[in-house]
Structure 1
Amino acid sequence: MIIIADGGSTKTNWCLINDEGSKINFNTEGYNPYFASIDYIINSLKHNLPADLPLDNISEVNYYGAGCSTEEKRNHVKTAMSAVFTKSQVNIDHDLMAAARALLGRQAGFAAILGTGTNSCLYDGEKITLNIDSGAYILGDEGSGCDIGKKLLIDYLRGYMPEAVKQNFWDTYKLTRDDVNEQVYTKPLANRFCAGFSKFVYDNMNVNLGYSHGLVKTSFQDFFRNLVTHYPNYNQHTFNCIGSVAYNFRNILEEVAAENDMKIGSIIRSPIDNLVKFHLEK
């Protein structure tokens, strides 16, 4: 038995492949090593993995995770995973590699992630050849769920929201200015907190389409201006992207890509199915 897992900052999608080739899918929270300690990951896995998961029979775990871009961070996650999957060979790689493999297979091209956070790269069919640092959620992550959520929260705190959207926001969350500041500046996982509001934007497109569309488009324009267009010959590649934000706001993403002379390739919500295919073929 082997496991393939795609871990974002918010959620991890797991697929167990048994000896007969059957697939069993399940989810846990995400484990970004910049925000989750080794003990936190271990405790979360012990409480959230399926109770009937045959840990002793799993020979290999292939985990692709947000934040796993350096050897130090990969070892951080590997230490935690190895404490739970004690009979398994644990392989840790970056979620950007998962995106590239799922979107492009063994073909060269451009791949990106627009989920809780942002990432992007050029890929030669085997390895990532160029990655412009997204800056993470405080310094960058333009185009991400966190970025969209931050823009929404700023408008809320400054009173820039249209009245109907503001009322709906209050009715949904009952958040005061102090509540927002505490969640962002005091409590852990502020990136996940901010990213959660991208769902509000999506769910409330019909309340004020112009406002919601403009907010998301501004975020995507920032993503292209500050990241995508800085890749050499970027518009000679198709735009391929993974993540719930890219998938849910695909129509707006297509607008911005066209404005930057870049054709859309594949946009998928989750890489897990394509990753499983990649590993089985491998």
Structure 2
Amino acid sequence: MILIADGGSTKTSWCQLSDAGQRVYFNTEGYNPDFIDTPGIVASLDKNLPETLPRAEVREIYFYGAGVSSQAKGDVIANALRRIFPNLSKVEVTEDLLAAARALLGHAPGFAAILGTGTNSCIYDGQKITYNVDSLGYFLGDEGSGSFLGKRLLRDYLRGLLPDGLQEALRVEYHLGSRNDIIDRLYNQPLPNRFLASFAKFAYDHNNVSYCRQIVVEAFEAFFQNIVLHYPGYQELTFNCVGSVGYNFRDALTQVANSHGMQVGKIIRSPIDDLVSFHEHAG
């Protein structure tokens, strides 16, 4: 039995693949090693893995994760997996960007992006990532992501700039406290990127308000201006994307991509199905 996991910063999508090819899907929390250590991952997996999952029968795990930017970061996750699954013969932990490329493009070359809690993108040659413009994370970049949208919404909320009744709606829907409470949540409590990204749903739920539509378009415009336009020959490539933000706002994303002379190909919410198929065929 093998496990394949697509790990974002907020959620990890798993597939349990039996030797007979049967698939069982489940979700856990996200495990970005920038924000959680090995004991934290072990504790979360112990609590959240399905009771029906036969841990002793798992022989191989392919884990694609946000924040897996080095061998050391990957080891944070791999070491946790080895503690949870005692009979592993193979553990591969690599970046979620490769999962996106494999799910979107298979073995074909092209452009692949992630627009979820965070942002990432690359040119892929059908086997490996060959070019990447660094998204720089939620502090410095991650344009177009859920955390980028959340930052905009919270900033405008704290300055009293939200229009059309959105000020009160945001306060009520997210049980927001004082300015100091919000700042404390961002600077002193864990997983601030996940907290910021949670506000992207507000923009989606209020998409009938022109302000919400506008900030989404502006977020994607920033993504293109600061990242996509810096890929050589980008207009010759098709734009392919995974992630909840890209999927939920795909109309706006298509509009912005087309305005920069880039045709849109595949936009999917989650790569897990296509990723499992990739590994089935590879096996």
TM-score normalised by length of structure 2 = 0.97
Please give the alpha-carbon distance, in whole angstroms, between the structure 2 residues aligned to 1:255 and 1:51: 44
SS in 2 for 1:235: helix
SS in 2 for 1:35: coil
SS in 1 for 2:127: coil
- Listed as ranges, the matches of 1:112-191 within 5 Å are 112-175=113-176, 176-191=178-193
1:175-200: CA deviation from partner (whole Å, max 9, x where unpaired) = 12122111111101000000000001
Amino acid of the structure 1 residue aligned with 2:193:
N
Q: Could you tell me how far 1:19 is from its partner in structure 2?
A: 2.2
Please give the alpha-carbon distance, in whole angstroms, between the structure 2 residues aligned to 1:170 and 1:42: 34
1:101-157: CA deviation from partner (whole Å, max 9, x where unpaired) = 000000000000000000000000000001111000101000000000100001001
SS in 2 for 1:51: coil
- Listed as ranges, the matches of 1:1-282 within 5 Å are 1-88=1-88, 89-175=90-176, 176-206=178-208, 208=209, 210-282=210-282
Please give the alpha-carbon distance, in whole angstroms, between the structure 1 residues aligned to 2:55 and 2:230: 44
Q: Could you tell me how far 1:174 is from its partner in structure 2?
A: 2.9
Please give the alpha-carbon distance, in whole angstroms, between the structure 1 residues aligned to 2:224 and 2:132: 14
Please give the alpha-carbon distance, in whole angstroms, between the structure 2 residues aligned to 1:221 and 1:96: 21
Please give the alpha-carbon distance, in whole angstroms, between the structure 2 residues aligned to 1:219 and 1:57: 44
Structure 2: tracts of 5 or more residues without a match: none
Amino acid of the structure 1 residue aligned with 2:144:
G
Please give the alpha-carbon distance, in whole angstroms, between the structure 1 residues aligned to 2:117 and 2:81: 22
Q: How many residues align?
A: 280
Q: Could you tell me how far 1:163 is from its partner in structure 2?
A: 4.0
Amino acid of the structure 2 residue aligned with 1:179:
D
Most deviating of 85-94 and 121-130: 85-94
Q: Could you tell me how far 1:173 is from its partner in structure 2?
A: 2.0
Please give the alpha-carbon distance, in whole angstroms, between the structure 2 residues aligned to 1:274 and 1:173: 34
Please give the alpha-carbon distance, in whole angstroms, between the structure 2 residues aligned to 1:21 and 1:71: 30
Q: Could you tell me how far 1:75 is from its partner in structure 2?
A: 1.3
Please give the alpha-carbon distance, in whole angstroms, between the structure 1 residues aligned to 2:234 and 2:85: 41
Q: Return structure 1 stretches of 4+ with deviation > 4 angstroms.
A: none
SS in 2 for 1:133: coil
SS in 1 for 2:189: coil
Most deviating of 98-107 and 76-85: 76-85
